[in-house]
Each structure stands twice: as C-alpha cells, then as structure tokens.
C-alpha cells in the first residue's frame, strides 16, 4: 500500500490524534488545505491587502505538509504556489500572451514545492521539540525566499511574505532586519498558529478513556494546564504582531527640507503599444511639467527643488536626438528645477540599450556625471538569456530586438538639493540594490517605474515594496510612474498624495531628508544569511534525527 493509499484509507472516525502518532493529515484534507493556503497568501497582498491572512496561509501549508513524504510535501507546496502566483502575477498576462505568465507562475510555484518538501523533511524535529515548529517554519520561509530571490538569472523576489505587510505592525521590523526579518516574523506567527491548532485538535479528540486517565493523573494536571500548549502559541503570535508596534521607526527625516514634484504624464494607450508612441509620452511629461511651472508662477504651487519623471518618460534617446533633448531642456528651464528623467539610451555597443535615470539641469542640460543605469534588467523582458533556447519555447522573445545592458554602479544621484537613491522598476524588490544607494549617501529613495504594460494591482504591489524600503532604511521615498500609482512615502511607511491609475497627475510635497542609518541598513545581508544558514542547519539536523530513528532498535 502506498503512502497516498494509506492516507486516503483514514477517516475522521479512525484518525488518531495527530500529536505523537507520526501520521499526517489525510490527503483529501491536505490538498484542499494547500490550495486554501495559496489563496490566503494571495489575499494578503495588494490590491486586497488583508495582511493577517499571510500567517494563516503559512500555517495551512505547514499543516498540510507536516509528516508527509518528500514527494507529497513537494506536491502540496506546488499546489500552494500555483494558487498564489497564478493570480498574483496575472498582470504579466495582460499584453504579452498567456505563456510568459504561465511559465513564470509555475517557476515560482516550484520554489514553494521545495518549501513543502523541506517542511515534510523537518517534521521529526518539529515533533521532537515542542517549540521547534514555529521557528522551523520561519527559517524555511526565509531560506526559500533567499533562494528564489537569486535564482535563476538573478531571481524574482515578487511575492515575498514581507511585501504583504505594508499596513501591518510587522512592517516596523524592517527597520531592524529588513525584508528577511519581516518574512521570518510572518512565518513564525504562522508556525505558532499551526502549533496551536494542531495541538488543539489533538486535545479535542481525546477519548473519554483519555480524560479519565488524565483525571487520575498526577496532581496539578488540570484542564487549564492541558490546554496551555494550545493557548500559549496563539497568544505569542498575537503578542509578536502587537509588540512590533513598539519598534521605533522614524516618522520624518531629520535633515534639510526639500520640495519635490512627481510628474505622472500618462500614455495615450496602455499596453506594449506605448512604445510606438514615444514622442507622445515624452510630450505628455514635458507639457505636464510646463503646466506645473505655470501654477508655481501663479502662486498655486510651491516652487519645486527637484522634479522626478518616471521610467520610460523619454524612450527617445535625448542624448542623441536633439529634438527630444530640447523638449526636456524646455521643461527644466521653465520649471527652474533639475529633472530626473527616465530615459532609454542607445549603446554603449551596437544593438544595445540602457534603461537609465539621468539628471537634466535647467540652463545646462544633461548632467552626464549624474546618470544611473539600471543594474538588474529583467530577463525575458529587457534582455533574453539563452535566446536560441528561449526561441524554441516562444518566438515572442524576438520582440526584444536589443538587449538592455546592466549598469555597474549604485543609483546615487546628486541632484543639488538632495542626494537621491535611484532604483528603476523591479529593482525595488532587491534588498542589495536599494541598500547600496543608502550606503552611498542617498537621502531620498526614488523609484522610477513604468506600469503602462501592467495594471493597478501590479502598481499597488510595487508601492508596498516602496513602503517597506522607506521603513527599512529610515528614508523618505517616492514612486514615480508613467500611469500610476505614484506617490510619496514617509520613513514610517505612510503614503501621501497617491495618484490614480491611467491618469495624468502632478503632485508636489515638502520632504525632510535623512542621513542616518537604521540597524537594518548597518546589518545588510547578515540577518538573511544567518536565518538561511539556520534553515540549512535544521535540514541537516532533521537528516541526523531521521538516520537515528532508522537505526534505533525495535
């Protein structure tokens, strides 16, 4: 009889209490639970934003995979991954066809399959040590995300547990250990929940004979004492979340004040089509900036010290096209402020392009000393790795005729009134790329992005990442998008002046800059590497325990 057959043969009437029996949940319960785990995790993320469901989803997967064989654990983790990533990444399907969406979703689900297998593998440790299960759950989630964030082709960190907590008290933990610590806390809370429910189920299924036996047991074995293993983990999970409110975070910068304008010029039509209307997109941003200058002259708006345009605001290379350069100069000269322009630049080699942020100064034009080239181009979107192999899967890869080449230096842009930490689009999801700008002296985090090929759900998911980065590094931040959502973020994660989607808007705000460093900034990658190393140690420890159990005499 196979493991699956044995699981299916169990019925609620014959199923023994789960604690101490060595048996998993019946598969007919575990499979729907794994799917429900993925859906709970999905709803925790924007645009839904029901953050308490993230630890609930973690708990469901932990329960489904506990005590299973590796293959079954992997299968259940994969079910959770498909239920999560399929809908979460649906925005990749809007204008490029279903294939990229399906392949990306399945790839990401594969990492949760590894997590499910790892959860099954460490089950003996979770059963042997009463309080090990919550900690193991937290460690394995951090280890899974550390791997997913880096592989393949530099990784894809979208859908990290930390990014679901933009309105949660746990967000404040980012100031201590960045996104990895927030993920660990969410998964730890999930581990505490599954421990409480699992033990509660065991206590509720005790037979009358068990009750009589325990009633005649040693003095002090009261019902309250027997239910303590249920209540304590649940209370600790609540205390962990509520206690995060005690973590100090900055509410505003401590340095000089600067007035910043975000120009969201919008595009004629959403979709890949916007590339065919490059001049119209550039004109939209120029015209919106000139209109801002008019409101400043009329006393209706503050004079900005800096104007930020989004990624792809000039897909015509303004360094090689005099007309495009003249239009940007017209905007900068009229508004009397430098403009951080998101531009596509040709070169450096033939058939190559760069996704860049370049500072355009009034009266002087492009400041070539203050140019940031995107360090992490998106594979299969901005460049095609293994192009010949990829073409066998889909000929759509040939739509990307020129590969974007990566930059080599952090996005530290000295704009005069402020030192900017510029990251472009998906780069905000990568811990090291954002941190490098702060270490380099950035006082204000700037995310230039283009959401014209996606939708409002993707934009809100990205804004959640900006909120975490602001708290993580104690910096004011902003996101400037071609179509929305744009807005300002305070160092405590609060969003101000958020724009609508697929609209033309200009927002202006005074910000107080900051030069300090949070504990997370100083520690860098150490929290993640420590937690990931402990996850590996747990896997090794489980292997040792399993080996001892096999050689133990009957």
- Sequence ranges of the domains in the chain: 27-203+230-250+526-551, 256-517
Which residue, 410, 421, 328, is CA-closest to 366? 328
CA separation for the pair 163, 493 (Å, rounded): 12
Mean pLDDT value across the chain: 89
Would you say residue 249 has pLDDT above 70? yes
Lowest mean pLDDT segment, chosen from 89-103, 258-272, 373-387, 490-504: 89-103
pLDDT (0 to 100) of residue 330: 98
More confident residue, 132 or 218: 132
Would you say residue 339 has pLDDT above 80? yes
Assign residue 287 a region: left if phi > 0, alpha if psi is -120 to 50, beta otherwise? alpha
pLDDT confidence band for 13 (50 / 70 / 90): very low
Would you state the structure tokens that stand for residue 87, as one six-digit string? 């809908």
CA separation for the pair 367, 486 (Å, rounded): 25
More confident residue, 1 or 294: 294
pLDDT confidence band for 9 (50 / 70 / 90): very low
Instruction: Note whether 323 and 367 are within 8 A (CB).
Output: no
CA distances from 135 to 116, 131, 132, 206, 431 (A): 16, 7, 5, 27, 23
CA separation for the pair 495, 468 (Å, rounded): 11
Would you say residue 225 has pLDDT above 80? no
Lowest mean pLDDT segment, chosen from 85-89, 163-167, 480-484, 545-549: 545-549
pLDDT (0 to 100) of residue 205: 65
pLDDT confidence band for 19 (50 / 70 / 90): very low
Would you say residue 441 has pLDDT above 80? yes
Would you state the structure tokens that stand for residue 183, as one six-digit string? 């993920």
Per residue in 309-330, pLDDT (tens digit) is 999 999 999 999 999 999 999 9
**pTM of the entire structure?**
0.91
More confident residue, 229 or 510: 510
CB atoms within 10 A of CB 222: 11
Would you say residue 56 has pLDDT above 80? yes
Which residue, 239, 338, 308, 319, is CA-closest to 466? 308
Provide the β-strand partners of residue 372.
Answer: 357
pLDDT confidence band for 549 (50 / 70 / 90): confident
Per residue in 157-216, pLDDT (tens digit) is 999 999 999 999 999 999 999 999 999 999 999 999 999 998 877 766 664 445 545 544
Would you state the structure tokens that stand for residue 247, as one six-digit string? 């973590």
Q: Across residues 20-48, what is the average pLDDT?
A: 92
More confident residue, 329 or 403: 329
pLDDT (0 to 100) of residue 207: 47
* DSSP H/E element including 287: helix 278-297
Provide the β-strand partners of residue 94.
Answer: none
CB atoms within 10 A of CB 280: 14
CB atoms within 10 A of CB 200: 16
Tell me if residue 514 falls in helix, strand or coil: coil
Instruction: Note whether 313 and 341 are within 8 A (CB).
Output: yes
pLDDT (0 to 100) of residue 98: 82
pLDDT (0 to 100) of residue 552: 60
Q: Which residues are catalytic?
A: 311, 374, 425
CA diameter of the chain: 92
Lowest mean pLDDT segment, chosen from 144-158, 219-233, 522-536: 219-233
pLDDT (0 to 100) of residue 231: 85
**E strand map for 338-397:** 339-346, 352-361, 365-373
Quick one: DSSP state of residue 207? -
Which residue, 36, 33, 29, is CA-closest to 12? 29
Provide the β-strand partners of residue 343.
Answer: 314, 356
The superfamily in CATH containing domain 256-517 is Carbon-nitrogen hydrolase (3.60.110.10)
pLDDT (0 to 100) of residue 208: 47
CA distances from 415 to 296, 325, 423, 475 (A): 20, 18, 15, 16
């Amino acid at each position: 009889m196979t493991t699956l057959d044995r699981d299916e043969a169990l019925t609620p009437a014959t199923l023994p209490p789960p604690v101490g029996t060595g048996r998993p949940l019946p598969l007919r319960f575990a499979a729907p639970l794994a799917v429900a785990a993925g859906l709970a995790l999905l709803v925790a993320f924007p645009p839904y934003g029901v953050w308490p469901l993230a630890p609930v989803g973690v708990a469901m997967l932990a329960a489904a995979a506990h005590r299973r064989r590796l293959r079954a654990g992997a299968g259940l983790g994969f079910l959770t991954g498909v239920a999560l990533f399929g809908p979460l990444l649906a925005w990749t399907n809007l204008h490029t066809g279903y294939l990229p969406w399906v392949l990306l979703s399945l790839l990401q689900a594969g990492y949760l399959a590894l997590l499910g297998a790892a959860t099954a593998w460490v089950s003996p440790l979770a059963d042997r040590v009463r309080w090990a299960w919550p900690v193991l759950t937290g460690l394995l989630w951090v280890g899974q995300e550390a791997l997913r964030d880096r592989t393949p082709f530099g990784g894809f960190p979208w859908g990290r547990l930390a990014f679901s907590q933009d309105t949660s008290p746990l967000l404040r933990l980012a100031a201590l250990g960045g996104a990895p610590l927030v993920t660990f806390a969410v998964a730890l809370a999930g581990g505490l929940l599954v421990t409480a429910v699992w033990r509660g189920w065991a206590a509720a299924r005790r037979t009358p004979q068990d009750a009589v036996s325990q009633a005649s047991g040693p003095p002090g074995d009261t019902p309250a004492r027997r239910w303590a293993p249920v209540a304590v983990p649940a209370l600790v999970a609540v205390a962990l979340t509520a206690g995060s409110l005690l973590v100090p975070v900055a509410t505003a910068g401590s340095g000089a004040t600067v007035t910043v304008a975000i120009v969201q010029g919008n595009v004629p039509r959403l979709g890949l089509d916007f590339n065919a209307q490059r001049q119209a997109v550039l004109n939209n941003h120029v015209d919106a900036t000139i209109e801002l200058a008019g409101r400043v002259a009329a006393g209706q708006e503050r004079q900005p010290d800096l104007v930020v345009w989004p990624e792809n605001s000039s897909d015509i290379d303004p360094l090689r096209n005099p007309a495009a350069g003249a239009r940007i100069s017209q905007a900068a000269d009229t508004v009397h402020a430098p403009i951080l322009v998101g531009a596509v630049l040709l070169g450096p080699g033939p058939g190559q392009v760069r996704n860049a942020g370049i500072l355009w100064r009034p009266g002087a034009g492009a400041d070539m000393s203050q140019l940031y080239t995107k360090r992490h181009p998106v594979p299969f979107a901005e460049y095609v790795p293994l192009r010949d192999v990829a073409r066998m899967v889909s000929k759509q890869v040939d739509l990307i005729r020129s590969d974007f080449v990566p930059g080599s230096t952090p996005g530290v842009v000295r704009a005069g009134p402020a030192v900017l930490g510029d990251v472009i689009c998906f780069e905000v999801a990568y811990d090291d790329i954002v941190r490098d700008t702060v270490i380099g002296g950035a006082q204000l985090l700037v995310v230039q992005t283009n959401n014209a090929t996606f939708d409002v759900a993707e934009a809100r998911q990205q804004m959640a990442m900006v909120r975490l980065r602001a708290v993580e590094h104690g910096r004011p931040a902003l996101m400037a998008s071609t179509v929305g959502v744009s807005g300002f973020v305070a160092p405590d994660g609060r969003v101000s002046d958020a724009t609508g989607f697929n609209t033309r808007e200009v927002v202006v705000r005074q910000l107080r800059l900051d030069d300090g460093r949070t504990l997370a900034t100083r520690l860098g990658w150490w929290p993640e590497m420590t937690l990931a190393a402990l996850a590996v140690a747990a896997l090794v420890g489980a292997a040792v325990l399993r080996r001892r159990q096999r050689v133990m005499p009957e």
